[in-house]
Structure 1
Amino acid sequence: MALGLAQRGFRGRITAISVSPEASDLPVGELERRLIELGFTEGAQVEILHEGLFGRDPIAVRVNDATVAIRRREAMAILVS
């Protein structure tokens, strides 16, 4: 399942990062690099802490011990279980 589809309170583990061209305005390699730098690596534990008021975007995600805000369309590139 993509992290971008998960609801507030979801807890899981990252299984892969699969970036598609429509995931962001950034080049595919650049978005993947940025997600990895933020801690979204295979095996990392994630939890959705908060959703934005309008359109549930952006989302606040705890990745291991860090809290990061990302857009849902970028979170679609993060596969979790």
Structure 2
Amino acid sequence: MTLDQLRTGCSGIIQSVGGTGALRRRLLDMGLTPNTKVMVRKVAPLGDPIELFLRSYELTIRLEDAQKIEVLEVAE
């Protein structure tokens, strides 16, 4: 599943980061690296952007970017 399919309050482990060039580099630089646990904190009223919690900080990304990140959902 991709990060945009994770429901609010659910967590997952990043499996891979897609995209190419500057977009992929930017996602990796923001801490979205494989084997990182990430939780969806909030989703904007219209569904874009989404707020994530990872590595002890909040990060907001566009839904389009979240579709490029493969995650494995984990039960809490």
Verify: 1:53 aligned to 2:45, yes or no.
Answer: yes
Summarize the alignment of residues 16-27 of structure 1 with structure 2, pairs less than 5 Å apart: 16-19=16-19
Percentage of pairs with the same residue: 29
Q: How far does residue 64 in structure 1 lie from its aligned partner after superposition?
A: 2.0
Q: TM-score, normalised by structure 1?
A: 0.84
Summarize the alignment of residues 1-81 of structure 1 with structure 2, pairs less than 5 Å apart: 1-19=1-19, 28-54=20-46, 56-81=47-72
Number of aligned residue pairs: 72
Distance, in Å, in 2 between the alignment partners of 1:36 and 1:66 is 15
- Structure 1 unaligned blocks of 5 or more: 20-27
Coordinate RMSD, CA, aligned: 0.9
- Structure 2 unaligned blocks of 5 or more: none
- Identify the structure with the greater strand proportion: 2
Q: TM-score, normalised by structure 2?
A: 0.89
